[in-house]
Amino acid sequence: MNNLNNTFEKIGIVFISIFIIIIFLSSCENDLAEIKSVATSDELKYETMKNVEMLYSDSAIIRVKVMGDKMFRYLDVNTPKQEFPEGIKVDFFDPSGRTQSELTAKYALRFEKKNEIIVKDSVVWESKKMEMLETEELIWDEKLNKVYTKKFVKITRPGEIVYGYGFEANQDFTRWEINAITGRIKVDGLAKELDE
């Protein structure tokens, strides 16, 4: 009888041990699931940076400087991107390092794999030649070194203001064209008419 009790005791201990192991493993599984859900939460999908400055160079010569007060860098492997929710300022330089033109916008989004920056909301580009472009959206294709939009644009330059839909330029804005001009105003002629 004593041997039978010892056998039942051993079986009971084995069952209790297995039960404890099952509980331990299932609790570990839940903890891993919790960790996995936390690791994929939105809070860990991006980095926040302040006072950002990015430089683009060609043959060791800085050609473009991008600045923003705040940047979110999204870490998604398939579509990594940088967002400038508080605006962006871009300086374009000539080969001797002098500022050639400047672009500002209240919002920007850069897609790393596409090498494309989209600037939106109160986009203004100004050159040292006294030219100014105003629009609501511009797309900068870094691979093709061109800037374009299909949106409404207004270009002010000495002597005239030009309105149209669609715009294309090289990335330093030394050559540009409006695709569909809708109006032109000669500023000098208008000023003379107002004086008379």
pLDDT, position 192:
39
Residues 27 and 117 in one domain: no
Q: Are 167 and 102 within one domain?
A: yes
> Which structural domain, as residue segments, surrounds residue 24?
1-41
Please report, in tens digits, the pLDDT of each residue of the chain (196 residues total). Answer: 555 455 556 565 655 656 555 555 555 444 555 545 554 554 458 788 899 888 888 788 888 888 999 999 988 888 889 999 999 998 888 888 888 889 999 999 999 888 899 999 999 999 888 889 999 999 989 888 888 999 999 999 888 899 999 999 887 677 888 888 888 887 665 543 333 3
- How many structural domains comprise the chain? 2
pLDDT recorded at residue 36: 54
| CB-facing half-sphere around the CA of 129: CA atoms within 13 A | 11
Same domain (yes/no): 56, 105: yes
19, 102: one domain: no
Say yes or no: 63 and 151 in one domain.
Answer: yes
| pTM for this predicted structure | 0.68
Q: Mark whether 111 and 154 lie in a shared domain.
A: yes
